């Protein structure tokens, strides 16, 4: 606790900041009012009884000098109204020349002070406008030889801030215009959670991040080499990514990327996917000739495997007999159809696969164990290197085992650190048209400038230990490096719902929170992500499996990991069973039926299921997982599988956001391919009006000054691609 007294004439304000991570209050003349911090907006219609839904910044911000010379306040606390300052307020008057040029003076009820509006140009100013000096365009075309512009009237004391109402207690919520793009970062939250423990791990460091990512890439290459050398197959596509997700569901280690403390050590996900590719990877052929070749290759590979391994006599006998029978059938069969070859392959696989699995089981388990043990060793090396950097800079070692239990309810807020951040090295950057290049230690990473502006917005809203933006580019570089390593060139785990779908979810079902997102592909500024350490600087609420939600409306589009999807469904059902307040989860998962994953079966049998619909394959689109580096013409991906949409809601959530027919129809319509392009085209044809038009028959409507967006998006036609 710390106290600071502000003296403003006859007013004495005692500002009290509670550093217990969940409350901030202001006392004025004995009257106490609670208020949320400016970084977390909440929806006004949510009402929670006896619930301290207040989250202050845990880092003490630098004091800011007010207009009054004897008063300083902190930027997250409300400021006194200008009328309360001890200095007299002198209202400026417009000269006849200014009135002739269209300037008018109006009174702002929100700000309780005058502002100036030009009816000819639509310009709004808080300060007294100044007239440009007259000059001769022939002798002085630049106007630099004439007298200077007249200064404002003496004694005029006006605030430097354009929108002081954002920091006032009693004023209405201001209209803020965030940067434009495929997101809506102005949507306030309606999610209430239980207060959580701050992170007790070191802050990310770029040198450590380079070391971690090099070891992760080395581990990925080792997995490929083991599959090729031991089983003569390539590593299953995206298997390593799904292994990381599956391990993190049960991992209790401290490294954010590599698993280091899991039980059991053998991954079911990795074991299952490698076994499915033994003896060869099967695909659905397009032509009859391809079906015949695949049958022949499977039989030859099965024979080679059973002869080269230490298989039991019974397994060897059965496999060899079925292989020889298949070869005889191929020799004497002429003109067989596509279905005949596929049926024969299914029969051969049914007879041989159990014996092949038993033969290679020990070898596959050895691959899984080796990868896990290497990951644990790498995680220990990363931790030692990180602690070494902290000791060099005099930062104490964090207490990884400290736990704080708390049952207080708060509005959802970004993950915070309880540890100190060491000094971070600088990153070089270069703007190249629509992209920005960031370079550290000779490695250059690229991001679209529009998405860099998005990260800048999220960083200013959520990061409290770097108000001067000294580490912004460094942390953006670490973010890009982490996700590049995690994805490994595959975008499938980061595909996101179309913008039109997210708009519909927010409008029709009150969704304000994404359960599976990242700073690069999030639509709302409230989201959960995979890496709380680096994503927290950009607004992440941490992993969804650690979020203890009480109320709110969520959208869940999980990555295609069966273990992660099942764990998420179990977590949603547990939250719904424990909460009596409005709580809703709209889940989007692929329609896989052969075989159906456990997550889909649990969703269909859930007691909280209110409705289920299916969006057919090739009739909807997703956004590319690399949308932050691709041009806009390559973002849309046709989905090759159906998508199941399931509403999980408790009774209060169903009454408030229930899937009635009109809402569901609007959601299905938002999935229609081309809706996003139509939306962008409509914005181009009918841009929002930014100025008022004066003329005969037109009525001038003054408006108070607003902050203009600093990014303008040029919409382009898009092309269609397919994602499976």
Tens of pLDDT, residue by residue over 181-219, are: 899 999 999 999 999 889 899 999 999 999 999 999 999
Residues 6+ apart with CB under 8 A from 489: none
Tracing tokens 């100036």 back to the chain, one arrives at: 116
Report pLDDT for 421.
93
Closest-CA residue to 165 (of 126, 117, 116): 126
Alpha carbons within 13 angstroms on the beta-carbon side of residue 173 total 16
Residue 684: predicted pLDDT: 58
pLDDT > 70 in the chain, percent = 74
Q: What is the DSSP string of 162-177?
A: S-GGGG-SSSPPPP--
**Beta bridge mates, 392:** none
User: Which pLDDT value is given to residue 680?
Assistant: 66
Token pair for residue 632? 């806009």
Residue with tokens 């509006």: 117
216: closest CA among 252, 249, 243?
Answer: 243
Which pLDDT value is given to residue 116? 87
Q: What is the pLDDT of residue 602?
A: 96
More confident residue, 692 or 481: 481
**Residue 298: C-alpha distances to residues 277, 333, 467 (Å):** 11, 17, 62
Alpha-carbon span 372 to 243, nearest angstrom: 10
Nearest residue to 189 (alpha-carbon basis) of 551, 637, 633: 551
- CB 426 within 8 Å of CB 69: no
Model pLDDT, residue 636:
86
Residues 6+ apart with CB under 8 A from 15: 3, 4, 6, 26, 27, 73, 74, 77
Contacts of 31 (CB under 8 A, 6+ apart): none
Among 63-77, 106-120, 281-295, 320-334, where is mean pLDDT lowest?
63-77
Candidate from 240-244, 376-380, 633-637 with smallest mean pLDDT: 633-637
From the number of C-beta atoms within 10 Å of its C-beta (0-12, 13-18, 19+), residue 612 rates as middle
Looking at residues 400-429, what average pLDDT do you find? Answer: 86
CB contact at 8 A, 79 and 73: yes
pLDDT at 14: 33
Contact of 21 with 58, CB cutoff 8 Å: yes
Average of per-residue pLDDT across 690-715: 38
Tell me: pLDDT of 414 over 60: yes
Integer angstrom CA distances of residue 57 from 17, 444, 600, 638:
9, 33, 40, 42
- Contact in structure between 39 and 462 (CB atoms under 8 Å): yes
Residue 539 clears pLDDT 80, i.e. is over it: yes
Q: What is the dihedral of CA 487, 489, 490, 495, to 10 degrees?
A: 70
| Helices vs. strands in the chain: H and E counts, helices first | 16, 22
Distance CA 711, CA 434 (A): 11
* pLDDT at residue 308 greater than cutoff 50: yes
Strand (E) or helix (H) holding 125: strand 124-125
Instruction: Give dist(CA 564, CA 246) in Å, integer.
Output: 6
Q: What is the pLDDT of residue 56?
A: 41
- CA nearest to 18, candidates 57, 45, 48: 57
Tell me the C-alpha distance between 503 and 486, whole Å: 29
Residues 455, 488: Cα–Cα separation, whole Å = 22
Q: For residue 164, count other CB atoms closer than 10 A to its CB.
A: 21
Q: Tell me which residue of 484, 494, 490, 497 sits closest to 636, measured CA to CA.
A: 497
Position 145 scores a pLDDT of: 62
Give residue for tokens 């699995």: 357
What is 475-499 written as a DSSP string?
HHHHHHHHHHHHHTT--GGG-B--H
Residue 117 binned pLDDT confidence (cut-offs 50, 70, 90): confident
pLDDT of res. 405: 65
- Residue 208 burial by Cβ neighbours in a 10 Å radius (0-12, 13-18, 19+): buried
Kindly report which listed range (13-27, 497-511, 553-567) carries the lowest average pLDDT score.
Answer: 13-27
Where is pLDDT greater, at 149 or 391? Answer: 391
Q: Is the pLDDT of residue 103 over 50?
A: yes
Among 176-180, 308-312, 370-374, top mean pLDDT goes to: 370-374
Say if strands 513-514 and 549-556 run parallel, antiparallel, or are unpaired.
parallel
Question: Mean pLDDT of all residues in the chain?
Answer: 80
Q: How far is CA 678 from the centre of its chain?
A: 25
Residue partners of 426: CB distance under 8 A and separation at least 6: 473, 474
CA distances from 335 to 294, 330, 347, 472, 619 (A): 16, 10, 19, 66, 36
CA–CA dist 548, 194 (Å, integer) = 6
At 67, list the tokens: 């207009």
| pLDDT at 477 (0 to 100) | 98
Residues 6+ apart with CB under 8 A from 317: none
Cβ count near 519 (within 10 Å): 26
| CB 205, CB 388: distance < 8 Å | no
Which residues contact residue 674 at a Cβ distance below 8 angstroms, ignoring those fewer than 6 apart?
none
Task: State residue 253's pLDDT score.
Answer: 93
Residue 448 in contact with residue 434, Cβ under 8 Å? yes
* The pLDDT of residue 4 is above 60: no
The three-point CA angle 271-275-280 to 5° equals: 145
Element (H, E) at 192: strand 192-194
Q: Please calculate the CA angle 31-33-36 and round it to the nearest 5 degrees.
A: 160
pLDDT beyond 50 at 387: yes
CB 645 within 8 A of CB 584: no
230 vs 53: which has the higher pLDDT: 230
What average pLDDT does range 471-485 have in this prediction?
Answer: 97
Is the model's pTM score more than 0.75?
no
Q: What pLDDT score does 75 carry?
A: 39
- Reported as a pLDDT band with limits 50, 70 and 90, residue 36 is very low
Report, as an integer, the average pLDDT of 111-138: 77
Counting Cα atoms < 13 Å in the Cβ hemisphere of 268 gives: 9
Give the pLDDT mean for 125-143: 68
Q: How many CB atoms within 10 Å of residue 141? A: 10
Residue 33 has pLDDT above 60, yes or no: no
pLDDT at 518 over 90: yes
pLDDT at position 41, please?
53
Question: Within 13 Å of residue 286, how many CA atoms lie on the same side as its CB?
Answer: 0
Residue 166: alpha-carbon gap to chain centroid: 25
Percent of the chain with pLDDT over 90: 61
- Which among 408, 407, 413 has a CA at the least distance from the CA of 36? 413
What average pLDDT does range 160-179 have in this prediction? 46
Q: Is the pLDDT of residue 173 over 70?
A: no
Per-residue pLDDT at 664 exceeds 50 = yes
**Residue range 633-642: mean pLDDT, rounded:** 89
pLDDT band at 398 (very low <50, low <70, confident <90, very high): confident
DSSP class of 634: G
Residue 482, C-beta contacts closer than 8 angstroms, at least 6 positions apart: 209, 213, 256, 257, 531, 534
Q: What is the pLDDT of residue 544?
A: 96
Q: Give the pLDDT band of residue 348 (cuts 50, 70, 90).
A: very high
Among 615, 633, 617, 590, smallest CA distance to 720 is for 633
H or E stretch covering 239 = helix 239-250
Burial of 16 (0-12, 13-18, 19+ CB in 10 A): middle
CB burial readout 114-133, b (16+ within 10 A) else e: ebbbbeeebebebebbeeee
pLDDT of residue 137: 58
- Outline where 524-561 has alpha helix (H): 532-535
Which has more confidence, 45 or 64? 45
Token code pair at residue 71 = 């008063």
Tens-place pLDDT, residues 574-592:
999 999 999 999 999 999 9
Residue 600 φ/ψ, nearest 5 degrees: -65, -40
Q: What was the pLDDT predicted at 642?
A: 94
Residue 5 — pLDDT band, cuts 50, 70, 90?
very low
d(CA 382, CA 388): 10
Q: Minimal CA–CA distance to 648: which of 579, 720, 583?
A: 583
Q: What is the mean pLDDT of residues 30-51?
A: 45
């Amino acid at each position: 606790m710390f106290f600071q007294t502000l003296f403003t004439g006859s007013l004495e304000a005692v500002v009290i900041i509670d550093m217990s991570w969940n409350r901030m209050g202001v006392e004025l003349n004995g009257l106490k009012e609670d208020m949320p911090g400016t970084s977390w907006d909440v929806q006004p219609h949510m009402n929670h009884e006896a619930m301290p839904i207040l989250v202050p910044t845990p880092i003490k911000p630098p004091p800011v000098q007010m207009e009054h010379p004897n008063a300083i306040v902190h930027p997250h606390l409300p400021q006194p109204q200008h009328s309360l300052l001890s200095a007299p307020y002198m209202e400026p008057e417009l000269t006849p020349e200014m009135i002739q040029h269209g300037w008018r003076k109006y009174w702002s009820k929100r700000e309780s002070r005058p502002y100036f509006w030009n009816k000819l140009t639509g310009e709004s100013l808080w300060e007294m406008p100044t007239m440009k000096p007259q000059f001769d365009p022939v002798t002085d075309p630049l106007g630099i030889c004439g007298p200077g512009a007249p200064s404002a009237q003496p004694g005029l004391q006006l605030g430097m801030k354009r929108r002081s109402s954002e920091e006032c207690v009693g004023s209405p919520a201001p209209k803020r215009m965030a940067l434009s793009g495929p997101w809506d970062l102005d949507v306030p939250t309606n999610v209430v959670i239980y207060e959580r423990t701050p992170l007790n791990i070191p802050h990310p460091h770029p040198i450590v991040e380079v070391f971690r990512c090099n070891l992760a890439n080395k581990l990925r290459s080792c997995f490929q080499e083991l599959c090729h050398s031991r089983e003569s197959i390539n590593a299953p596509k995206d298997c390593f990514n799904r292994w990381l997700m599956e391990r993190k569901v049960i991992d209790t280690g401290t490294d954010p990327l590599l698993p280091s403390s899991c039980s059991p050590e053998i991954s079911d996900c990795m074991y299952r996917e490698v076994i499915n590719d033994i003896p060869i990877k099967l695909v659905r052929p397009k032509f009859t000739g391809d079906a015949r070749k695949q049958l022949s290759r499977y039989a030859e590979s099965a024979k080679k495997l059973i002869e080269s391994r230490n298989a039991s006599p019974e397994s060897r006998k059965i496999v060899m007999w079925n292989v020889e029978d298949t070869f005889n059938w191929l020799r004497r069969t002429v003109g067989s159809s596509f279905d005949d070859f596929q049926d024969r392959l299914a029969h051969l696989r049914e007879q041989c696969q159990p014996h092949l699995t038993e033969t290679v089981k020990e070898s596959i388990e050895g691959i899984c164990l080796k990868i896990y043990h290497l990951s644990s060793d790498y995680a220990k090396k990363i931790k030692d290197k990180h602690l070494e950097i902290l000791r060099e800079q005099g930062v104490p070692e964090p207490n990884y085992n400290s736990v704080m239990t708390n049952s207080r309810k708060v509005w959802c807020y970004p993950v915070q650190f309880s540890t100190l951040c060491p000094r971070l090295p600088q990153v070089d950057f270069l703007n190249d048209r629509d992209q920005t290049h960031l370079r550290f230690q000779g490695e250059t990473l690229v991001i679209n400038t529009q998405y860099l502006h998005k990260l800048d917005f999220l960083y200013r809203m959520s990061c409290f230990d770097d108000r001067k933006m000294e580490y912004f580019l460094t942390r953006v570089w670490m973010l890009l490096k982490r996700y590049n390593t995690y994805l490994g060139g595959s975008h499938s785990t980061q595909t996101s719902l179309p913008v039109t779908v997210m708009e519909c979810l927010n409008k029709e079902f009150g969704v304000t929170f994404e359960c599976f997102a990242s700073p690069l592909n999030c639509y709302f500024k409230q989201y959960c992500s995979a890496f709380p350490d680096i994503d927290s600087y950009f607004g992440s609420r941490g992993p969804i499996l650690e979020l203890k939600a009480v109320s709110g409306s969520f959208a869940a589009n999980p990555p295609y990991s069966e273990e992660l999807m099942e764990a998420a469904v179990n977590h949603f059902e547990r939250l719904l069973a424990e909460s009596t307040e409005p709580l809703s989860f709209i889940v989007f998962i692929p329609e896989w039926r052969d075989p159906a994953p456990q997550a889909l079966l649990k969703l269909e049998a859930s007691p909280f299921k209110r409705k289920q619909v299916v969006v057919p394959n090739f009739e909807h689109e997703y956004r590319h997982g690399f949308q932050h580096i691709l041009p806009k013409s390559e973002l849309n991906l046709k989905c090759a599988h159906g998508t199941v949409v399931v509403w999980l809601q408790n009774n209060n959530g169903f009454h408030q956001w229930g899937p009635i027919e009109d809402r569901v129809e609007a959601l299905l319509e938002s999935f229609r391919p081309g809706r996003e392009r139509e939306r962008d085209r409509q914005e181009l044809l009918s841009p929002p009006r930014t100025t008022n038009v004066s003329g005969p028959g037109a009525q001038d409507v003054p408006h108070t000054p607003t902050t203009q967006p600093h990014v303008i998006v040029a919409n382009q036609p898009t092309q269609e691609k397919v994602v499976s």
